[in-house]
Amino acid sequence: MTDDQFWDHIRAARAADPEEHAENLADRLSELPVADILAFGRRWVDRQTRAHTRELWGAAYLINGGCEADDLPEFLDWLILRGEAVYTAAVTNPDSLADAVDGESECEVECSPAYEAYCMVTEQDDYGDALMQRFPELDATAHEPPPTAAPWPFSPDEFRARLPRLAALYVAE
């Protein structure tokens, strides 16, 4: 599956509600052969891994009024569902999310559209094993914080310095 095909599936399944979007995407993927579902799942993991940065974690913390490490994947799922333009801009510059949020709604969704599609098609619950068998190079620790990234305190002053546009939406004066 190419990058364009990956993003086309996300775009074609679009819905205003992130949970509905994820359901639409899983339904769409369930029409594909299992190998393509797994290829989509691999691209999804790749996108989560690429976006798993302390800077985006800080944006998630600010936007959602807090974000524990275990909650970050749900923010990253939401980010991927927003589409290629929003995702790419946010990975490059997390403050660009100021253009994609309303300042009020939480931005997270717990979803695994490839898992859901795989289970629908195969009637099996061995997606993780199938994904690792098909793509053994996938790193099971991909969601660990990057060890080279310096931590920064999630404080109002740091948000204003690092994410000024988002801070203007979410940090009280």
Q: What is residue 65's DSSP assignment?
A: T
Helical spans, DSSP H, in the chain: 3-12, 18-29, 34-51, 54-63, 72-81, 84-92, 113-122, 127-134, 156-162, 164-170
64-104 confidence digits (pLDDT tens): 999 888 889 999 999 999 999 999 999 999 999 999 998 88
- Report whether 165 contacts 98 (CB < 8 A): yes
What is the mean pLDDT of the segment spanning 36-65?
Answer: 93
Helix (H/G/I), strand (E/B), else coil: 59: helix
Confidence of residue 148 (pLDDT cuts 50, 70, 90): very low
Question: For position 145, what pLDDT does the model report?
Answer: 52
Residue 150 has pLDDT above 90, yes or no: no
What is the mean pLDDT of the segment spanning 151-165?
Answer: 89
Confidence of residue 147 (pLDDT cuts 50, 70, 90): very low
Place of tokens 């098909």: 134
Neighbours of 126 (CB within 10 A): 11
What is the mean pLDDT of the segment spanning 140-147?
Answer: 54
Residue extents of the structural domains in the chain: 3-170
**Burial tier of 59 (Cβ tally within 10 Å: 0-12, 13-18, 19+):** buried
> Cα–Cα distance between 108 and 79 in angstroms, integer?
8
- Report whether 111 contacts 22 (CB < 8 A): yes
